[in-house]
Amino acid sequence: PYDVLVVGGGPAGASAAIYAARKGIRTGIVAERFGGQILDTASIENFISVKHTEGPKLAASLEEHVKEYNVDVMNLQRAKRLEKKDFIEIELENGAVLKSKTVILSTGARWRNVGVPGENEFKNKGVAYCPHCDGPLFAGKHVAVIGGGNSGIEAAIDLAGIVKHVTVLEFNPELKADSVLQDRLNSLPNVTVLKNVQTTEITGTDKVNGISYVERDTGAAQHIELAGVFVQIGLVPNTDWLAETVERNRIGEIIVDNHGSTNIPGVFAAGDCTNNPYKQIIISMGSGANAALGSFDYLIRN
């Protein structure tokens, strides 16, 4: 069996695998797609100490760094079941069962898409999902935020301090965000809130130039010219496969303590799949290191 088996090969998993391997213990990493979300990221400017990089380049560096160590890398393999017996068992989609004394879950998350024409075409060309990452790219420009829940309104408040104007589009007749956030939003001079509207298309040529929507009460079709669209309708953790095993919160995030431990002894978790509130590369790497040290601590005590 492994001492540490990491499930997920994004920034959190790569960091966990390196920290574990550096303890000289038997380490494996299973990843459906080594690199994770950063493979879909163009420009990265907030990975501290690296002024600018690109997602695929950072993913290649992660892989190169992991391969410096004695780590079994099992790429293009999807985990489908976790069970605690004498060891913790991870069953893969291909039927293989891996056994380990500890497991670190780092299966990440994915942004929920609005699914309108233009969203895929203009990803990284005006369609964005992370205001902390991409907000500064739109300084002085007009942007839209799709979604009036807490994350949408937080994004709109954040962006209003950077961009020229923010238009919020909410499908329902009312915003779902906490009233303190709504009050803050309403106090800002450069924000317009459109409620009861359905986004129908993100328009553009080589990059985004506008958004089309329908007013749901009148049926009237409208179009606004703008440079960016932030989609904020939810981040979904990749944790369905855990079924009734590891404890999760209402939105499916794995609940961890400050050692990265879950409710199952020997099972740890790190990165975007956990209830850690902020989802960023640097934070995921930190939590991967934390979970690896947590699992090492567990191994020397058990």
The residue from 21, 31, 159, 227 that contacts ligand FAD (CB under 6 A) is 31
Q: How far is the CB of 162 from ligand FAD (least distance, A)?
A: 15
What is the helix, strand, coil percentage profile of the chain, to 5?
25, 30, 40
The residue from 2, 6, 11, 131 that contacts ligand FAD (CB under 6 A) is 11
141 part of the interface to ligand FAD, by CB under 6 A: no
Q: Report 253-282 residues binding ligand FAD (CB under 6 A).
A: 271-272, 279-282
Q: List binding-site positions.
A: 3-18, 142-156, 262-272
> Whole-angstrom distance between the N-terminal and C-terminal Cα of the chain?
15
| Amino acid letter, 118 | G
Q: How many residues are there in the chain?
A: 302
Measured distance CA(167)–CA(192) in Å, rounded: 5
171 part of the interface to ligand FAD, by CB under 6 A: no
Measured distance CA(161)–CA(139) in Å, rounded: 9
x/- binding map, residues 180-219, to ligand FAD, per CB under 6 A? ----------------------------------------
9 part of the interface to ligand FAD, by CB under 6 A: yes
Long-range contact pairs involving 174-180 (C-beta distance under 8 Å, separation at least 24): 174/148, 175/148, 175/149, 176/148, 176/149, 176/150, 177/148, 177/149, 177/150, 177/152, 177/153, 178/150, 178/153
107 part of the interface to ligand FAD, by CB under 6 A: yes
* Strand 71-75, strand 27-31: pairing: parallel
Residue among 225, 266, 272 at smallest CA distance from 90: 266
Buried b (16+ CB within 10 A) or exposed e, 258-296: eebbbebebbbbbbbbbbbeebbbebbbbbbbbbbbbbb
Q: Report 224-253 residues binding ligand FAD (CB under 6 A).
A: 238, 241
Q: How far is the CB of 269 from ligand FAD (least distance, A)?
A: 9
Dmax over Cα atoms in the chain, in whole Å? Answer: 66
The residue from 3, 4, 5, 13 that contacts ligand FAD (CB under 6 A) is 13
Residue placing its CB nearer to ligand FAD in the complex, 168 or 235? 235
Q: How far is the CB of 238 from ligand FAD (least distance, A)?
A: 4
Q: List binding-site positions for NAD(+).
A: 142-156
Which of these ranges, 4-12, 96-104, 166-174, 210-218, lies near ligand FAD under the rule CB under 6 A? 4-12
The residue from 4, 18, 21, 38 that contacts ligand FAD (CB under 6 A) is 38
135 part of the interface to ligand FAD, by CB under 6 A: no
148 part of the interface to ligand FAD, by CB under 6 A: no
Residue 4 pairs with which residues in a beta bridge? 27, 102
Residue placing its CB nearer to ligand FAD in the complex, 219 or 277? 277
The residue from 4, 5, 6, 12 that contacts ligand FAD (CB under 6 A) is 12
Measured distance CA(146)–CA(150) in Å, rounded: 12
Contact 7, 100 (CB under 8 A): no
Binding site for ligand FAD (CB under 6 A): 7-13, 30-34, 36-38, 40-41, 44, 46, 78-79, 106-109, 111, 129-130, 133, 238, 241, 271-272, 279-282, 284
